A and B are shown apart, each in its own frame.
Chain A
């Protein structure tokens, strides 16, 4: 007689969720917010080369928290999907919502069927055009996709940071104000984050096709006024 132990689906999901949450909580958080003319993404990241935020396409950016190797594979898949779709159809047919759905499906599949759930949370940000709105899609470790209206927080301490940011920023602000609020929300009251430990990227129109840019430490310091 073989030994099968019955585990209720509720218990299984709970165990997997706890496992994923623990993994995600180990890393630092990310704040993404829409400002008056673009989208800002701020990560607390002491590494200058292992990025958490990346360009996916002309108007789409990616951010991930949790296990680096897991979200970096998703980032690469996103770039391939976007470049492949734009090559097959047209650049304007590359839509962040479609990519966010693929991420949600894959992360959801891994949560229920994988050897272990992915210990990641990812964000897909899109800068709007005449035919598409500016959007922030957050995909949680179990595949839940949420369409965040103004800002999104990824990572272990998300609820606290969310509270701090929404209290400080009540309306669309210029980049420097939004950046200051995002950094303050990440740091909390009794801590300051060194500029060198910040990874700051924006999606903003500058006249060209590509809108993604990574801000240098000098530029971040200037915007923060420090």
Chain B
């Protein structure tokens, strides 16, 4: 690629996607006839002072393709992105989002607002999903430094962006995770309670949805848990994640696989 110079009248501005389309670095999606399923569960829960996200680690095609996939990534210091749907498109989507936010920051010397990031993703999702059966549904959560609040944005298949003030789920295990979250969510959740509820929601999804991986005690692989607060994106250390799932699992073992009348 040569030096990309543009006239002021047709400059693509600080948007990486618009520049990449102009320079021919990305192609418009083509229909392929391959239908992917949303074999995943990722949840986001708001608490007072931030957002907790928990995601399973299993990649499923007709069989289990991988057990240690990372479906939640930091899009930048204060923002996390999770994906469900086509793995290839999802990875490209995360890369495009990460690069776009950084590109904007370098071009303009200011960060995009969290709402700006959420809106920027809408046409990218629309462009992918309406042009191809390889669907991607992301989930965006972040700490909003200008509103001093944790915020969650969910999307529909056509790219519609909706802010959620409580929690959001994506993927095939959503109905099970959502049930747990609906019963357990309170507006005054603190970080600890949100972590517990989030882990339980993923445990429920892993227990009921064949395409969602629960805690894997054989390989010592556990869902990933992250928090977003005024310190930015933090991934919980492996030992802490393990301890949380061991606790849930022991309770379930004692009650012979049922929740036993309460959220536990």
Contacts and interface: CB of A to CB of B under 8 A. Distances in A.
A54 B106 contact: yes
B3 A77 contact: yes
B109 interface: yes
Contacts of A81: 1, 3-4
Interface string A88-99: 100000000000
B107 A79 contact: yes
A19 interface: no
A81 B6 CA distance: 12
Contact of B25 (A54, A87, A106): A87
Nearest to B12: A80
A84 B20 contact: yes
Contact of A80 (B19, B95, B102, B109): B19
Contacts of B25: 84, 87-88
A102 B99 CA distance: 22
Contacts of A87: 16, 20, 25, 95, 99
B154 to A, nearest CB: 27
Main secondary structure of the interface of B (DSSP, over half): helix
A184 to B, nearest CB: 28
Interface string B100-113: 00110011010000
Given A79-B103, A83-B103, A87-B95, A73 B5 contact: yes
Among A49, A79, A105, which residue has the most Cβ atoms of chain B within 10 A? A79
A88 B3 CA distance: 15
A67 to B, nearest CB: 14
Given A79-B106, A79-B107, A85 B1 contact: yes
A23 B103 CA distance: 30
Contacts of B33: none
A71 interface: no
Given A84-B20, A84-B25, A87-B99, A102 B3 contact: yes
A48 to B, nearest CB: 11
Interface string A61-78: 000000000000100111
A110 B183 CA distance: 67
A76 B95 CA distance: 20
B3 A84 contact: no
A105 B2 CA distance: 10
B23 interface: yes
A54 B16 CA distance: 17
Given A51-B109, A54-B109, A83 B16 contact: yes
